[in-house]
Structure formats: C-alpha cells, structure tokens
C-alpha cells in the first residue's frame, strides 16, 4: 500500500471550490428528505379507483425502480473503494451522500408498495432485457472494480451506473411516472417522492459526468471506450421501452407511448454530448464546472 498523505492538515486543505466538494455541500443542504415522512393516504384511495391495466402499468414501473434502487445501493461500494484508494477525498465525501440517498430510494419504493398493500412477488415484471442489465451487467461491471481500478474499468463502471442506469433508464422512468400520474392527477405521495428522487439523481448523474469528464481529460482514449459502451447498451433501453408499450397505440393513462421512446433517445444523445465537451478541456476547467453546466437540479 502507498504511504499515506494526509490532505486536510497539509497546505492543500480541502478543495472547497471543486465540483465534487460543492456537490457534497449541496447534497447536505437539499438531500435530507425522509421517505418515512411522505403521506401516502391519498395514494391508497387513488389506487382503489384505478383500472386493472393502469395498476399493472404502475406496478411494473415501481417493480423496476424498486429492484433498480436496491441494485444501485448494493453495487456502489466498489466504486467508492476505487475512489478512496486514489485518495480523492472530496469525491469520496460526496459519495457518502450518494450511497445514503440510494438507500433512501430503496426504502421509498418499498413504502409505496406497502401503502398500496402489494405483498406479492413482483419479479414477474422483470423481462430478460431488464434482468440482463440489473441482474448481470450492473453488478458484474461494478464488482470488477474490486480487483481492477484502472481508469478504463472505472470509466466503464460509471457509464453503466451513472450514464445508462441513472441517466437513461431512471430518467425515462420518471418521465413515465409524470406522464401517467401527473396527467391523471393521482398518487401525490408517489409523485412527491419521485420529485425528490429526481433531484438526488441529478447529483448522482452530475458526479458521473464529472468523473467521466475527468477520466477523458486525463486519458483521452477513454472517450472512444465510453462511446462504444453507450452504443452497446443503447439497444437495451429501446428494448425495455418497447416491452413497456406492448404494441399499444395509447397508454393506459391515455398518453402517446412514442413520447417515452423519444425521451429515451434524447437522453442517450444528451449524455454523449455532455461527455464530448470534456475533449480538449484543461483539468482545472473540469474541476471548476458549474452546477448548471452539468445539469444539477
């Protein structure tokens, strides 16, 4: 093991104006909502008035989020370990809030399921494509970091976790929730939690964007690796959307299913566009990036 250098008693101190430290400060300010404080009494009433098809669609979405949040809670640690091993203190300080928030997201969806009285096995909603992502690719890519902390392995992990699972899959899921429940004016507790989750996730995705931009800046060949990985994952996001639509022309809430697909395609393009901005930047510029430039809510 490398000889330890203590940062906070050195002249370096903490990099207080660096992006990860600012993100850590923001998480402490706005990331403290408590899932257990959300009132689901109206959601319980609304659930009784929904059609069987609507219930099935919402349960499917919740079951994918519930499993997804559990997976990201369990799979984040190897990344934290890799970052800590490199002595990147400000990044690790932010990551402590990241893991705490994923745990709260896992708690949140279980509270929703409990409130609507759902006690059955929901894994029937997990298609083969879904399982491929959450039961295989995500845990395997993250677990690789236990023994391989190369920049390539860290970049691949961040693409799968932050750019794809959070930045494309989860963002599309929020869009679907709003598209159905907000339009119908039902399930306010679920929507309140989704609003909080969305803000938390903007910081997680923002950190991933910073991390990948830093890696691309330090090792320019990483950009091609990131592009290739996103290209490999993209068809799975499209496939999951198609499975959600099930050939219907109108969703159970009356919306146009194409809107969800268009949103996914836009997310895929946006992620790559933002990462491409790292090319040719100086490392100091990456650390100085503002919240709004990186899309923090």
Q: Is there a contact between 200 and 238 (Cβ–Cβ < 8 Å)?
A: no
CA distances (Å), 142 to each of 80, 148, 158, 236, in order?
A: 10, 10, 9, 18
14-22, 38-46, 56-64, 105-113 -> range binding Fe ion (CB under 5 A): 105-113
The separation between CA 114 and the C-alpha centre of its own chain, rounded to angstroms, equals 23
30-38, 48-56, 117-125, 194-202 -> range binding Fe ion (CB under 5 A): 194-202
Nearer to Fe ion, 69 or 171 (CB): 69
Residue 64 C-beta: closest distance to Fe ion, Å: 12
Interactions with Fe ion, residue window 120-139 (CB under 5 A): none
Residue 201 C-beta: closest distance to Fe ion, Å: 5
Q: Is there a contact between 90 and 21 (Cβ–Cβ < 8 Å)?
A: yes
Residue 65 C-beta: closest distance to Fe ion, Å: 8
Nearer to Fe ion, 107 or 152 (CB): 107
Residues 6+ apart with CB under 8 A from 23: 94, 203, 206, 207, 210, 291, 296
Nearer to Fe ion, 50 or 237 (CB): 237
11-19, 47-55, 63-71, 185-193 -> range binding Fe ion (CB under 5 A): 63-71
CA-based torsion, 107, 111, 112, 113: positive or negative: positive
Nearer to Fe ion, 50 or 159 (CB): 159
Nearer to Fe ion, 257 or 271 (CB): 271
- What angle do the packed helices 257-276 and 222-245 form, to 10 degrees? 170
CA distances (Å), 216 to each of 90, 168, 273, 282, 297, in order?
A: 19, 20, 13, 11, 24
User: Would you count residue 203 as binding Fe ion (CB under 5 A)?
Assistant: no
Residue 68 C-beta: closest distance to Fe ion, Å: 7
Q: How many CA atoms lie within 13 A of 216 on its CB side?
A: 25
49-57, 68-76, 171-179, 226-234 -> range binding Fe ion (CB under 5 A): 68-76
Task: Please give the Cα distance from 116 to 270 (Å, whole number).
Answer: 35
16-24, 147-155, 196-204, 228-236 -> range binding Fe ion (CB under 5 A): 196-204
23-31, 98-106, 222-230, 238-246 -> range binding Fe ion (CB under 5 A): 98-106
- Produce one character per residue of 133-160: b if its CB has 16 or more CB atoms within 10 Å, e if not: bbeebbeebbebbeeebebebbbbbbbb
Q: What is the 3-state secondary structure (H, E, C) of 141-180?
A: HHHHHHCCCCHHHHHHHHHHHHHHHHHHHHHHHHHHHHHH
Nearer to Fe ion, 145 or 217 (CB): 145
Site string for Fe ion, 156-185 (x = CB under 5 A): ----------x-------------------
Total binding residues toward Fe ion, as defined by CB under 5 A: 6
Residue 206 C-beta: closest distance to Fe ion, Å: 10
User: Would you count residue 204 as binding Fe ion (CB under 5 A)?
Assistant: yes
User: Would you count residue 105 as binding Fe ion (CB under 5 A)?
Assistant: yes
> Where do contacts with Fe ion occur on this chain (CB under 5 A)?
69, 102, 105, 166, 201, 204
């Amino acid at each position: 093991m490398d000889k330890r250098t203590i940062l906070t008693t050195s002249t370096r101190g903490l990099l207080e104006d660096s992006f990860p430290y600012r993100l850590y400060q923001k998480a402490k300010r706005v990331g403290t909502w408590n899932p257990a404080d959300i009132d689901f009494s109206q959601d319980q009433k609304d659930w009784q008035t929904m059609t069987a098809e609507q219930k099935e669609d919402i349960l499917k979405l919740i079951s994918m989020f519930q499993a997804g949040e559990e997976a990201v809670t369990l799979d984040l640690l190897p990344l934290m370990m890799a970052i800590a091993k490199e002595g990147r203190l400000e990044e690790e300080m932010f990551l402590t809030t990241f893991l705490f928030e994923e745990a709260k997201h896992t708690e949140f969806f279980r509270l929703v399921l409990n409130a609507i009285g759902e006690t059955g096995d929901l894994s029937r909603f997990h298609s083969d494509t879904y399982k491929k992502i959450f039961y295989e690719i995500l845990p395997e890519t993250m677990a690789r970091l236990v023994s391989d902390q190369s920049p390539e392995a860290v970049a691949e992990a961040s693409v799968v976790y932050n750019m794809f699972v959070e930045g494309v899959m989860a963002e599309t899921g929020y869009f679907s929730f709003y598209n159905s429940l907000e339009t119908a004016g039902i399930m306010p507790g679920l929507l309140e939690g989704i609003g909080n989750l969305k803000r938390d996730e903007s910081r997680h995705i923002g950190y991933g964007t910073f991390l990948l931009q830093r890696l691309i800046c330090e090792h320019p060949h990483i950009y091609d690796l990131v592009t290739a990985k996103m290209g490999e994952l993209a068809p799975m996001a499209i496939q999951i959307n198609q499975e959600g639509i099930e050939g219907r022309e109108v969703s159970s809430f009356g919306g146009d299913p194409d809107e969800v697909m268009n949103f996914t395609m836009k997310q895929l393009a946006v992620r790559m566009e933002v990462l491409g901005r790292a090319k040719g930047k100086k490392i100091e510029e990456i650390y100085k990036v503002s919240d709004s430039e990186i899309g923090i809510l």
